[in-house]
Amino acid sequence: MSEEHIIETRNGSAWQLPAIIVLGLVALAGLGFGWSASSKLDSTKQDVATELKTTQQSVQQDMSSMKDRIAQDEKANADLQGDLKVVTDKLKITQGQLKKARLQAETVAKENAETTQKLSALDTSVHTELATKAATDDVKNVDTKVTAVSADLDTTKQDLKMAKSEMGTLIARNHDEVDQLRRLGERDYVEFTIAGKNKPQKVGNVTVELKGVNQKKNQVNLTMTVEDKRFEKKNRALNEPIFFYISGTHIPEEIVVNKVGKDQVSGYVSIPKANSQAASASNTSGN
């Protein structure tokens, strides 16, 4: 009986060892699975926490942006309300001013009508008085004034009794006589003064250069440049006109020296009105 027990004990030990190994392997596999699941769970928790934090930050930013927009809208609304109030106040003022202006206009119109009537009556009264006072004494006064005007005209005619050139133009001996000729309106006059020799000066349509002065004989030496053409005029007397022509014109222009000094001369250039008009027309067509 003891031998049978020994055999049974050996057979039982033979199958228990594999079972224990299998159970150990299963336990190890379970531990490994549990560790893997725990690691994945931790990773998932971390990802979820990160995403949640990002979402919270985004929501906070959106909320902050929305608050700013709401604040801006509220400010814009307040500004609009303020502008509307200002416009409303101004409109009230404008309406008041318009009403006041209408009243003033009506008042001015009435005053103008009254003034017109008064002026009309005054005009009629004045004409009546003038017609009544048109007596012999008034006529005599008019005759006296006419006589005085005639005397002034005669004086002017005497003042204009200047020397004439061979072309029939009057020669001015000083600035006052140049002004008298200007008033006639027949020609343009450009006055000049040249101080120093060999200093070309543009005067009207001519360039004048002083070469010499003889004060004792009242003579001058000049060089004239007209349209790129150079002319020398020697020993020219005081108040002696020097004539020259401009292209496209038929009436001569003239230069007159009416005052001399030490290396200095003064005078004028006389330009016919027709020449000025021809030059203007030429410049217009050229443009």
* Residue 125 sits in the same domain as residue 200: no
Is residue 168, in this structure, part of any structural domain at all?
no
Q: What pLDDT is stored for residue 84 in this prediction?
A: 76
* Residue 102 sits in the same domain as residue 193: no
Distance of alpha carbon 7 from its chain centroid, rounded?
Answer: 129
Q: CATH number for the domain including 223?
A: 2.60.98
Q: What pLDDT is stored for residue 23 in this prediction?
A: 77
* Residue 2 sits in the same domain as residue 62: yes
* Residue 105 sits in the same domain as residue 197: no
Q: What pLDDT is stored for residue 95 in this prediction?
A: 73
Is residue 199, in this structure, part of any structural domain at all?
yes
* Residue 200 sits in the same domain as residue 115: no
The structure's pTM equals 0.44
Is residue 101, in this structure, part of any structural domain at all?
yes
Q: What pLDDT is stored for residue 286 in this prediction?
A: 52
Q: Among 247, 211, 213, which residue's Cα sits nearest to residue 229?
A: 247
Which residue is listed with tokens 């003022």? Answer: 93
* Residue 123 sits in the same domain as residue 236: no
Domain end residue (candidates: 107, 134, 161): 134
Return the ∠ at Cα 218 (arms to 212 and 224), rounded to 5°.
45
Is residue 160, in this structure, part of any structural domain at all?
no
DSSP one-letter string for 63-105: HHHHHHHHHHHHHHHHHHHHHHHHHHHHHHHHHHHHHHHHHHH
Q: Among 170, 174, 197, which residue's Cα sits nearest to residue 186?
A: 170
Domain that holds residue 248: 175-286
Is residue 7, in this structure, part of any structural domain at all?
yes
Q: What pLDDT is stored for residue 244 in this prediction?
A: 92
Is residue 155, in this structure, part of any structural domain at all?
no
Domain end residue (candidates: 83, 109, 134): 134
* Residue 130 sits in the same domain as residue 13: yes
* Residue 5 sits in the same domain as residue 130: yes
Is residue 44, in this structure, part of any structural domain at all?
yes
* Residue 54 sits in the same domain as residue 181: no
Is residue 260, in this structure, part of any structural domain at all?
yes
Q: What pLDDT is stored for residue 212 in this prediction?
A: 93
* Residue 14 sits in the same domain as residue 77: yes
Tell me the C-alpha distance between 48 and 42, whole Å. 10
Q: Number of folded domains in the chain?
A: 2
Domain end residue (candidates: 79, 104, 134): 134
Question: Mean pLDDT, consecutive 10-residue segments, the chain of 287 residues?
Answer: 50 67 76 72 76 78 80 81 75 70 68 66 65 56 55 51 78 92 91 93 92 92 92 92 90 92 93 70 52
* Residue 18 sits in the same domain as residue 129: yes
Q: Own/partner pairs for 73-78, CB < 8 Å, 24+ apart?
A: none
* Residue 111 sits in the same domain as residue 234: no
